[in-house]
C-alpha cells in the first residue's frame, strides 16, 4: 500500500511538472505574440531586451516558434504517457479489482488528459499572458530558453527530415507558417472573430499585404503627372488644371526634377481676384521626397504626421520617378477610392473569351500579378504601361503588339506620353 502511494505521489509530481512547463511555454508564446502585435510599449520592450537570452528569443522569431511548437508537443505527449500509470496507480490503491480496468483506464486517462491540459496548461496561462504579457514573459522565458538548448539537436534532425518531406510535395521550408508570425495571428483573428464584418476582414488582409509594398508599387509615373510649369504662362497652366480635375499639382521648372513644392487649386481661388494676379510661389506648399524603396507603411505614417497628401518619389541618384499620394496609399487598405470626377472603368476587365482582358496602362503591377496569377520580375517600373514601355524601349503606338511574361499584349489606346489601355491574352 505504501509503495503504491509513493508511486502515486511521484506520478502526481511528474504530471504537475509537465503541466507547469507547458504553461510556461504558453505564457511565453502568447507574450511574444503580443510583442509582435505591438501590444506593449517601447519602455517595456526595452526592459525585456536588457535580458540577453530573452532578446535572442525575440529576435529569432522563426527558431523560437519552432522551439515552442516542438516543446509543447513533447509536454503534451509526456502528459498523456504519465496519466496512464497515474490512473492505474489510483486503481490499485482503491482496489478496483472487479472493474474491467483496461478500457476504463484508457477512457479515464484520455478524459483527464484533455480536461487538465485544456484548462491548466492552456486557458489559464493564456489568460495570464494576455492580461500581463511583460510579467508573463519574465516569469517563463527561462523555461523556453532551456527547451531551446535541450531540443536543438532534435530540431536540427527533424528539420532536415521535414525538408526532405516538403521537397517530395514540391514545397520549401519557406512555405511553412511560423506560429509566432504576425501575419498568421492577424489572419486567424480576422477569420475566427464573429465581430469582424467581411469588409473589415478584407481591410485586415490588405493591411497585412501592405507590409510587403513600397512606394514604388503605388507611385504615379512622372510621364503621367500633370505639373504647374513656371516656364509656361498662367492661362495655359490653369486650363490644364481645369481639364485634369485634380486639386494638387507639383510646381516645377519644366519637369519634376526641378520641383519647388505643391500648389493646391483652392489656394488659387481664395488668394487672388483674377488670373493675372496669381503668384504660385506665394501659395506653394511644402512636399516630401521618398526613396523608391521606402516601405509603404513608413510613407503613410510620415504623410499623416506631416499632413501631406502628395510626395515625390526619387531614385538613388536623386532623379524623380513620379509622385505618391495619400489616396493611392489608402487604396491599398480599402480598395479603389472614386469620386464624381473619376472614371468608373475597372483597371482590369475580364472579357468574354477566357484568358483575355482589357487592362489599363495605369494598373499597378502588384494588382496585375494578383489578378492574372503571374510573376513579373521588374523592379524598375510600377505600372503595366511602364512595363510595356520598358520592354519596348519607347512609348508604343496604337495597335503595336508584344509578348512578355506569358502575356500577348496589344495597345488599344495611347497618346504621346502614356499607354491608356491594352488588350491582353494569357498564353
Write out pLDDT tens, residues 272-309. Answer: 767 667 787 788 888 889 998 898 888 998 998 888 89
Topology annotation, domain 348-426: 3.30.465
In three-state secondary structure terms, 68 is helix
Write out pLDDT tens, residues 188-205. Answer: 444 444 455 667 777 777
All structural domains of the chain with their residue ranges: 2-173, 181-211, 215-334, 348-426
% of the chain at pLDDT higher than 90: 6
pLDDT of residue 4: 62
What's the pTM value of the predicted model, to 2 decimals?
A: 0.47
Look at strands 419-426 and 288-291 and give their pairing.
Answer: unpaired
pLDDT of residue 188: 47
Look at strands 407-414 and 401-404 and give their pairing.
Answer: antiparallel
pLDDT of residue 338: 61
Q: Do domains 215-334 and 348-426 have the same CATH topology?
A: no
Sign of CA dihedral 378, 383, 387, 392: negative
Q: Which residue has the cell 469582424?
A: 196
User: 221: closest CA among 338, 319, 342?
Assistant: 319
Sign of CA dihedral 238, 415, 214, 206: positive
Phi-psi region of 360 (alpha: psi -120 to 50; beta: other; left: phi over 0): beta
Q: What's the CATH superfamily of 215-334?
A: CBS-domain (3.10.580.10)
Look at strands 407-414 and 419-426 and give their pairing.
Answer: antiparallel
Cβ atoms of 318 and 291 closer than 8 Å: no
CA distance 407 to 374: 9
pLDDT of residue 73: 85
Write out pLDDT tens, residues 140-153. Answer: 888 888 888 887 77
Give me the residues of the chain with pLDDT under 50, please: 97-99, 182-184, 186-194
Q: End-to-end alpha-carbon separation of the chain, Å?
A: 80
Amino acid at each position: 500500500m505504501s509503495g503504491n502511494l509513493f508511486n502515486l505521489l511521484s506520478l502526481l509530481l511528474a504530471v504537475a511538472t509537465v503541466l507547469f512547463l507547458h504553461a510556461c511555454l504558453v505564457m511565453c508564446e502568447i507574450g511574444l505574440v503580443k510583442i509582435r502585435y505591438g501590444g506593449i510599449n517601447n519602455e517595456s520592450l526595452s526592459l525585456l531586451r536588457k535580458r540577453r537570452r530573452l532578446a535572442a528569443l525575440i529576435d529569432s522569431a522563426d527558431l523560437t516558434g519552432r522551439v515552442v511548437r516542438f516543446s509543447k508537443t513533447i509536454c503534451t505527449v509526456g502528459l498523456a504517457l504519465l496519466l496512464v500509470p497515474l490512473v492505474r496507480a489510483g486503481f490499485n490503491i482503491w482496489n478496483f479489482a472487479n472493474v474491467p480496468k483496461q478500457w476504463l483506464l484508457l477512457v479515464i486517462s484520455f478524459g483527464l488528459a484533455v480536461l487538465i491540459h485544456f484548462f491548466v496548461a492552456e486557458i489559464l496561462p493564456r489568460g495570464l499572458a494576455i492580461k500581463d504579457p511583460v510579467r508573463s514573459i519574465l516569469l517563463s522565458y527561462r523555461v523556453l530558453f532551456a527547451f531551446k538548448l535541450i531540443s536543438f539537436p532534435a530540431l536540427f534532425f527533424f528539420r532536415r527530415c521535414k525538408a526532405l518531406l516538403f521537397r517530395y510535395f514540391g514545397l520549401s521550408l519557406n512555405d511553412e507558417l511560423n506560429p509566432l508570425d504576425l501575419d498568421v495571428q492577424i489572419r486567424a483573428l480576422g477569420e475566427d472573430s464573429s465581430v469582424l464584418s467581411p469588409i473589415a476582414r478584407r481591410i485586415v488582409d490588405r493591411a497585412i499585404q501592405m507590409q510587403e509594398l513600397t512606394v514604388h508599387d503605388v507611385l504615379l509615373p512622372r510621364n503621367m503627372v500633370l505639373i504647374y510649369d513656371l516656364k509656361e504662362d498662367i492661362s495655359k497652366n490653369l486650363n490644364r488644371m481645369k481639364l485634369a480635375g485634380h486639386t494638387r499639382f507639383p510646381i516645377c521648372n519644366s519637369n519634376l526634377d526641378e520641383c519647388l513644392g505643391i500648389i493646391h487649386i483652392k489656394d488659387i481661388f481664395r488668394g487672388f481676384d483674377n488670373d493675372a494676379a496669381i503668384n504660385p510661389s506665394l501659395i506653394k506648399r511644402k512636399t516630401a521626397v521618398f526613396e523608391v524603396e521606402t516601405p509603404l507603411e513608413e510613407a503613410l505614417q510620415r504623410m499623416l504626421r506631416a499632413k501631406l497628401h502628395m510626395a515625390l518619389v526619387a531614385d538613388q541618384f536623386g532623379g524623380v520617378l513620379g509622385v505618391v499620394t495619400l489616396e493611392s496609399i489608402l487604396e491599398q487598405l480599402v480598395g479603389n477610392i472614386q469620386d464624381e470626377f473619376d472614371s468608373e472603368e475597372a483597371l482590369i476587365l475580364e472579357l468574354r473569351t477566357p484568358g483575355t482582358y482589357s487592362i489599363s496602362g495605369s494598373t499597378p503591377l502588384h494588382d496585375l500579378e494578383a489578378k492574372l496569377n503571374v510573376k513579373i520580375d521588374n523592379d524598375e517600373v510600377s505600372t503595366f504601361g511602364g512595363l510595356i514601355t520598358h520592354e519596348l524601349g519607347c512609348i508604343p503606338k496604337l495597335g503595336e503588339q508584344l509578348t512578355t511574361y506569358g502575356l500577348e499584349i496589344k495597345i488599344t489606346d495611347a497618346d504621346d506620353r502614356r499607354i491608356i489601355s491594352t488588350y491582353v491574352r494569357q498564353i
